[in-house]
Amino acid sequence: MCINHGKLLTAMAIVLLSLVSSCKDSAVPSAASAGDNPPGAANNDPVIPEFAYKDLGYTKGIFTKDGIPFSGRAIQHYPDGTLKSRWNFVDGLLDGLVEEWYENAQRSTYKLYKKGMRHGITRYWDENGTPTKQVLYKNDEEIEEIPETPVPQNTGQSPPPEQ
């Protein structure tokens, strides 16, 4: 049996090219079409618009915007433009995270609300960023003050120094 190596190589090249061209349209994105984000990093969540807190109304315990119960995020700034506070509202009531900062841009409080009532952990910091207190709330009632957990000095990575 005589094998024509030229014809064999041509046939193999044709098969190889057809395989490569059929894989070109596969589901794996190319580097050019993947964009600047690594896989899984794209954020397609809607952007929540922020409104100035001073533009909200308050009627009978309900925060309003243009006369209707407000759902969204409200912010307040210090005169120099530094963020002072950020509130989240649903149907005119505080709902979700409320954050406040000192004029030096250090966080002062972190509060969680549910349907207008504190519900969850509230944390407080001093102007230097040191945690001062954390309190657990349920339905706007203080359940307990939770002691801050200090950062351990010996993390087990190396033996403690000899004294």
pLDDT in tens, the chain (163 residues): 555 655 655 555 565 555 545 544 444 444 444 457 777 777 777 777 789 999 999 999 999 999 999 999 999 999 999 999 999 999 999 999 999 999 999 999 999 999 999 999 999 999 999 999 999 999 999 999 988 766 555 555 555 556 5
Q: Residue 84's pLDDT is what?
A: 97
pTM attached to this predicted model: 0.63
Angle at 156 between CA 151 and CA 162, to 5 degrees: 95
Give which of 78, 79, 101, 99 is closest to 88, Cα–Cα: 99
Query: Could you tell me which CATH number the domain at 50-143 has?
Result: 2.20.110
Break the chain into its structural domains and give their ranges.
50-143
* Residue 34 to residue 141: CA distance in whole angstroms: 49
